[in-house]
Structure 1
């Protein structure tokens, strides 16, 4: 199956992205570089076409109309404790190394003004998001250190619970946020670090929305009403998100957007794990095993139309001011047909144009909403810093 796009809509999409580029909420290139080359940027040079190896390289970022990227500084929850902290620091170091190596293309951004200035200078603004509260090892001082190093959002959990917050894909333990979890959210607000609710359980979403004094984000999640996967956002949460002022960044991962792909992906993951690889392994050896499974068991295929179905519903529930895009490229082994890599964003915009989305609305989706929320978090932090000192609370004090 090959997705085809209307040439007229595609031309309009490319023109729109030239003025209102994509701010993508989540790309796992740093972890892919760790897995594939041990951060050796000569061995995996994204100035060279990496098609077939990575979803991301510089030329395809340009082709896709990407103006700003939140690079995920993800580490697996299995690391835990100090190992998770040090691995997160290595991920941050990788992003900074990429920006230093490719200064004509990438520029580290810490603020909304930085994002706008980078794009005005022809650079792709490079922000960082930590994927999972295990990266702070139950320490608010470590949270502050990550912020000082440039991390501008933290996903409260990854696939496993943390001691203070429940994950969407683990058994409930805290029933949302604990008292310390609420303190984490408040400290993130005080710092100006965006609270990311992708990966968290619905009760954690609701607790965070209740506690947060700044807009929150979902860096890479779609609609649970359209595809009933626990990683997606229930409608009541989307409604609350609008009241909060936050942004839900629709993801492209097939098992999150296409109901038929849920069981197929589970079987594919089990096949890869039976061969001795982690289900997120992107090495050539793991990819070969996965490809063999797909050859024998053709996968259900998502397309830009599948993702557009989610965005249509999310717009109806939350409103156009609360939508964005978070592809999760290089963090998923499978991608939709027509959204295979970072060059493909114009296909999604063309699909939405064909559905009657206006260019001003699309400009909010791609650029405006994400920049607004980043600036709102900064404004909240500026106000809170006048009256609040850094929290010295510990998990033992609050949850002991």
Structure 2
């Protein structure tokens, strides 16, 4: 592994100028943005009421002008539904999320381009469009059906996070009590069928046991669409070093997230108390409606929160590069999926500040290009290659959870 370079000499303005120039050539591919859910919560998908073609900074982290200022060239839009949704309700809500992404693509064709493959991503970059992919967040979205999994792929979903915050019958979550001890037999079949279809296996949100089980089963590279380093901030949503160390052998990518409670140790307990305050007001802790944000603001005014910064995120990336290698890291901010963000990364316009910080720390231009663009494109291309090979030797799985798990 190549040791980090010595920090560069230069002014903050110099590094920011270099960051903007670099992002013009190698824009950010962000692994996770919850804009579709925010549109559901705030305006019930009425795009006329909340037009991301203009300034939405009073209500959202994301709009097209700020994506452009942030140097974003590829975005996995999360088609997330809450894990307390179940069965056909979860499937229907996921389809609604997919629908609104399609409506955004139709509404803003000069800015957003549908991307189903790695070649589509490169074509969008050449045309100056933001390559738009989708990732389903939580295996509850398939309702224990491999046919539904395949249908989501047909509709354009290119990764699925195996769990969200709660266990499934076939997979353990990072933030729930152990259930099946990682992946069940059906859970392993889900991973194999994702490999066959070409859908990336996303290991954010899953228990460390599930991470290890999935890495033992998968024939394709995995991703962590929005997770940071557990050695830097000991939160179960983050990736342990032994799992990061497996990524070079797998070919996968861990994409650092910006959520303060996952990156700043001092923010973990504060956020727990803020979440309890939300529940006391009858609100879901992940809610980002105007009402929810007022509750958050009042709590923060009474008890100021520990503040993460761009430097906090860079500390995670330094560690992840040291353990996994520069070929196996990326960025997944989780914008519009969190109430709080770090200073300097307040919204999607902030990516240049992070890149400037890394350049100031001595990261080379080729290394930053891998972080922002090349690693994400490579991992999707590798999943496509594995899929082609597997489809030549086996057909769609007909397994059921009843048959495999009893």
User: Per the shorter chain, which TM-score range?
Assistant: over 0.9
Match of 1:127 in 2: 133
Alpha-carbon displacement from aligned partner over 1:202-247 (angstroms, at most 9, x marks no partner): 0000000000000000000000000000000000000111210000
**Can you give the 5+ residue segments of structure 1 that lack an aligned partner in the other structure?**
none
Q: Deviations 1:178-203 (Å, cap 9, x if unpaired)?
A: 00000000000000000000000000
Where do 5+ consecutive residues of structure 2 fail to align?
A: 1-10
Q: Tell me the equivalent position of 2:317.
A: 311
Structure 2 counterpart SS, 1:68: strand
User: Are residues 1:299 and 2:314 paired?
Assistant: no
Q: Counterparts of 1:198 and 1:79 in 2: how far apart (Å)? A: 19
The TM-score with structure 2 as length reference comes to 0.97
Candidates 181, 190, 196, aligned match of 2:187: 181
Structure 1, residues 296-351: CA drift from partner, whole Å, max 9, x if none?
11110000100000000000000000000000000000000110000000000000
Map of 1:80 onto structure 2: 86
1:370 maps to which residue? 376
Aligned to 1:344: 350
Aligned length: 396
Shift, 1:52, TM fit: 2.1
Provide the secondary structure at the position in 2 that maps to 1:74: coil
Q: Name the residue aligned to 1:19.
A: 25
- The aligned runs of 1:121-200 (5 Å cut-off) are 121-200=127-206
Question: CA shift at 1:88, angstroms?
Answer: 0.1
Aligned to 2:4: none
Corresponding residue SS for 1:260: helix
Query: Which residue of structure 2 lines up, in the alignment, with residue 28 of structure 1?
Result: 34
2:246 alignment partner, SS class = helix
- Of 378, 387, 393 in structure 2, the residue corresponding to residue 381 of structure 1 is 387
Deviation at 1:269, TM superposition (A): 1.0
CA distance in 1 between counterparts of 2:90 and 2:248 reads 33
1:221-232 alignment, distance < 5 Å:
221-232=227-238
1:245 to 244, 251, 262: 251
Matched with 1:8 is: 14
User: What RMSD in Å do the two structures reach over aligned CA positions?
Assistant: 0.6
* CA distance in 2 between partners of 1:104 and 1:247 (Å): 29
Asked whether 1:50 is paired with 2:56, we answer yes
Show structure 1 runs of 4+ deviating over 3 A: none
Aligned to 2:124: 118
**Match of residue 6 from structure 2:** none
Give CA deviations for 1:39-65 in whole Å, capped at 9, x if unaligned: 000001001101120000000000000
TM superposition shift of 1:77: 1.1
Query: Which residues in structure 2 correspond to 1:203-218 (within 5 Å)?
Result: 203-218=209-224
